[in-house]
Structure formats: structure tokens, C-alpha cells
Amino acid sequence: MKTLVWFRSDLRLEDNPALKNAFIESDEIHAVFIYSKVQLKRHNESNIKIDFLIRNLNSLEQSLASLNIPLILLNSKGFEDNGVLLNQYAIENSINTVYWNNQFGEDEEIRDKKVSKILKESNIQVKNFDDQVVYKPGTLKTGQNQPYSVFTPFKRKWIENFEMDFLDIDFDYHKKNFSVGKPSNIKNFNFDFEKTHFVEMDLWVPGEDEAKRRLEDFLKNKVNNYSKNRNDPILEGTSRISPYLALGIISPKKCILEALKLNNFEFSSGSIGITKWIDEIVWREFYKNILFSFPKVSRGQPFQDYSKKIEWRYNEEEFEAWKAGKTGFPIVDAAMRQLSNEGWMHNRLRMVVAMFFTKNMLHDWRLGEAFFMQNLIDGDFASNNGGWQWSSSTGTDAAPYFRIFNPITQSTNFDKEGLFIKKYIPELKDLDKSVIHDPPKEHRRYCNYPEQILDLKESRLRAIEAFKVAKS
């Protein structure tokens, strides 16, 4: 049987149910990736993430070649032509069945329904699977049979219902004597990609082997101190595996399995670092479930309906200062400069800058959400939307609106010595830790570092008032 595996955000061999099932059932497999510059732009995918995607496609092509499976790239104008493209390819190559792993988000779900319909009309079978989360999205429900909108009970249920069989991801891709229908075309494919980011890509080596190496290194050297170190951005105490999870270079099941193995398969006892790290992976699952169960999230709407009434401000200069890391608040600026230098930002700082943006600046969270997607290498719609809505108190299980991080306190608490600030704001590298978190005027002048764009106390009260008015 000739089959086609449509790769999307699952660019790996291990724990890839679509590929595994095709492998078992086929004599000839065509692996296909549909590339659309227009669609990537529509979804605000960043230049660095596209760069990383292309590098990972090259790596996937090599891995598939070792199994006698060619990777074919199809050029697309956007989701709307995917059905026609796949149908045409399938007919031309006498494909019987098309396999894929599901993606979440309204546009993706609509696309997949259309693609299935077109293929079925041509008598081509469609088989789809779930690989993005441990439980099929939407299956974990509250006692009232509703989807969860609060993390802690979601996690409790997630653990209660857990069975080790879920992590049965072992599969031996022994070389099968597939006939190779077509040669890969990646070498001659025109990605029409122009690099506009400034990140040194040695930071983000592509490929499944690298993702596994990172996981192994983190579990061996860092996870036991994760609970203690995860909030201090200079310590590099987290895994930095998010870009690999976002494109599916590694699966969440693989991450959970390897972490559990180290913890005698315990979720709530043993190493606090390991249980805390698994919690974070469950947060990722929580937001994917929110995206699946509440389509309004895909439509740019806030989770809390009352928050539609908030009167957001807009000030071009403040917005530009925030983007450029020139707000005059060192921890905010260092974080934003980490984003432009590395395409990635530490989690604690994502919360700090998002809260500063939506509360102190009182700017619409959707602007910040889009800017993050346009700049992150790990841009993931569900987690990014969840993080922005949490920070702006418009989301599920969000921070209460009156809980507003003070960036200077956050800085003294989590970057005590000011080393993170010094790393990303060289202008401030000679300042003592006693002044670096909020340099006095003369130091700012001397270091050529900007004045604060706003008054923290006043802006805090302004935000609380705006939320109060919207609520009433």
C-alpha cells in the first residue's frame, strides 16, 4: 500500500503515531510537508522560528532518508489550498491513505476538515492521531462534565487518570524495504526565506538528536535543582526545550517518560525538581486543552468576557520603548533584549514584561501576544495566549487584576546581584547591585540609559481603576 504522512508540527520519528502507523501498514511512504510563507505570516510566526523550521526540515529529511522515506515539500498559498495540493499529489502518486497528527486551533481544525472531505471524495482514506498532549484534548472533564478552566483541578485529574501505558512510545523503525516513489526535493525547494533576525543559531542546534541531548543533559545536571533555580534567569536552570516542543522535534510524552523514570514513576513525591518540571509540561497541556475546548481563544477574544470592556491605552512611544528594551526599567529591558538576542525569554521575565505591558502601560494584551509570536523561536499559540491572558488577568485561572508585579521588586528578588541585567544591558555593567535595579538619575545620564517611561505607582492605580470600571 502506498501512503502519505503529512508532517506539520511533529518533525520527528520517535513517538510519532502518524508515521508509526503508516510504517506498519505501508509498502511505500511519501512524507510531505506543506510550506506556506503566507500562512506562516498570517499566524505571526517569527523569522527565527521559520529559520529553525527550515533547519529542522533538513534534519528530518536526513532521518527519513535512513528509513528509505523521501521528504517532499509542497509550496502552498495558505491553509485554503492544502486539500487540493494533497489530493493532487495523492492522485498523481497513487496514494491510498493519508496520515497526520492533529493540530489544535480553529484555523487548523477547519483546514483539516476540508482536507479530509476533499481526500475522501477521491476515495483516499484519512487516518489521524494525537501526539501533542498525553490525553486526547477535551477528554478530561470536571464533575459537571465541563472542560477544565482552572489548572489545579485539571492537574489533579490528569494525574489521577494517568496510566503508564500512555507513555508506551517505544517503536523500532527497523529498515523496511520500502520502494522509494520519488526523491526528496528539499535541496531544490525555494523557501523564499530571508533571514532578518540577529540570533546566533549555534544556540539552537536543529534535529531530534539535539532535542534528546538537551533533555538528557537537563535531567542529568539541572532538574534536581529546578525548583530552586527556575526563577533566577542568570542561572539557566530551565531546560530550554520549548522550541523543540513547539515544532514537535521532541514529544511531551518523551519528556514526561524520561523525567518519571528518574523519579521512580512518582508524580507527587521524590525529587521536587522533577515533579515541578512535570507540572510545567502539564501547564502546556492545560493551555492546549483550553485552545481546544474554547474556540473563542482562537478568535482573539479574552477568556473573561468582562475584560472586553477594559479601555486599553495606546501610546506609540511607550510601545516602541518596550519593544526595543528602552523603558528605563532594567529588568524589563534586559528581558526584551534577551528576546531579540536569543529569540527566547526566561519564563519569569515573560510574566514580568507581559504584566508591565498590560498593567503599567495598560496596553491591549493582543499587541504583546502578537509581538511575542513575531519574535519567539518557541512561539506556541496556546501557551503564548495562555501566558498573555494570565498576565493581563483576562484569561483562565489568571492572576487577579489587582496583583501587579512591581518590576523593581521582581528584579531584586530574582536577579539579586543584577548579573542578568549586566549581561543584557552592557550600559549598566559597572553599576553596583544596590542601584542597578533602579538606577538614580545621575547614573542613568552617565550610563546613557533612559529615564523610566512611566510612574510605577500612578500606572498601577490607573490599571486597577480600568479593571474595576470594566468589572462594574
Ligand X SMILES: Cc1cc2nc3c(=O)[nH]c(=O)nc-3n(C[C@H](O)[C@H](O)[C@H](O)COP(=O)(O)OP(=O)(O)OC[C@H]3O[C@@H](n4cnc5c(N)ncnc54)[C@H](O)[C@@H]3O)c2cc1C
Q: Which is nearer to ligand X, 23 or 356 (CB)?
A: 356
For residues 269-307, one letter each, b for 16 or more C-beta atoms within 10 angstroms of the residue's C-beta and e for the rest, the string is: eebebbbebbbebbbbbbbbbbbbbeeebbeebbbbeeb
CB atoms within 10 A of CB 101: 22
- Compute CA distances 358 → 111, 254, 330, 355, whole Å: 33, 35, 18, 5
**Binding of ligand X at residue 352 (CB under 6 A)?**
no
Q: Which of the following is catalytic: 28, 365, 375, 384?
A: 365
182, amino acid identity:
K
Instruction: Determine phi and psi for 29, rounding to 5 degrees.
Output: -115, 135
Question: Known catalytic residue: 388?
Answer: yes
Residue with cell 520500502: 178
Question: Known catalytic residue: 347?
Answer: yes
Q: Which of the following is catalytic: 25, 109, 229, 312?
A: 312
Enumerate residues 6+ apart whose C-beta is below 8 A from 166: 134, 135, 253
CB atoms within 10 A of CB 403: 10
Q: Which residue from 376, 421, 454, 466 is in contact with ligand X, where contact means CB under 6 A? A: 376
Rg from Cα positions in the chain: 23
Separation CA 425–CA 337 (nearest Å): 8
Q: Which residue from 21, 47, 103, 242 is in contact with ligand X, where contact means CB under 6 A? A: 242
Question: Minimum Å distance from CB 429 to ligand X?
Answer: 25
State the angle between helix axes of 347-355 and 365-375 in degrees (0 to 180), rounded to the nearest 10. Answer: 140
82: cell is 492544502
Q: Which residue from 18, 60, 246, 431 is in contact with ligand X, where contact means CB under 6 A? A: 246
Q: Which residue from 29, 167, 351, 404 is in contact with ligand X, where contact means CB under 6 A? A: 351
Q: Which residue from 72, 249, 354, 454 is in contact with ligand X, where contact means CB under 6 A? A: 354
Q: Which residue from 380, 397, 415, 438 is in contact with ligand X, where contact means CB under 6 A? A: 380
Question: Known catalytic residue: 322?
Answer: no
Question: Known catalytic residue: 280?
Answer: yes
Q: Which is nearer to ligand X, 355 or 454 (CB)?
A: 355
Question: Known catalytic residue: 390?
Answer: no
**Binding of ligand X at residue 140 (CB under 6 A)?**
no
Interacting residues with ligand X between 201 and 230 (CB under 6 A): 230
Q: Which is nearer to ligand X, 43 or 55 (CB)?
A: 43
Q: Which of the following is catalytic: 158, 283, 322, 390?
A: 283
- Compute CA distances 313 → 71, 77, 299, 336, whole Å: 48, 36, 21, 21
Binding residues for ligand X, total number by CB under 6 A: 28
Question: Minimum Å distance from CB 248 to ligand X?
Answer: 12
Tell me the residue number closest to ligand X, measured at CB: 387
Q: Which residue from 28, 208, 378, 438 is in contact with ligand X, where contact means CB under 6 A? A: 378
Interacting residues with ligand X between 270 and 309 (CB under 6 A): 280-281, 283-284, 287
433: cell is 547591585
Question: Minimum Å distance from CB 287 to ligand X?
Answer: 5
Question: Minimum Å distance from CB 174 to ligand X?
Answer: 31
Question: Known catalytic residue: 385?
Answer: no
**Binding of ligand X at residue 387 (CB under 6 A)?**
yes
Q: Which is nearer to ligand X, 40 or 435 (CB)?
A: 40
- Compute CA distances 64 → 30, 132, 207, 209, 457, whole Å: 10, 20, 12, 13, 57
Q: Which of the following is catalytic: 93, 229, 347, 413?
A: 347
**Segment contacting ligand X by CB under 6 A, of 39-47, 123-131, 371-379, 424-432:** 371-379
Instruction: Determine phi and psi for 100, rounding to 5 degrees.
Output: -155, 165
**Beta strand 28-35 pairing with 97-101:** unpaired
Instruction: Tabulate helix, strand, coil % of the chain (nearest 5).
Output: 55, 5, 40
Question: Minimum Å distance from CB 87 to ligand X?
Answer: 33
Cite the active site residues. 280, 283, 312, 347, 365, 388
Residues near ligand X (CB under 6 A): 230, 238-242, 245-246, 280-281, 283-284, 287, 347, 350-351, 354, 372, 376, 378-380, 383-384, 386-388, 391
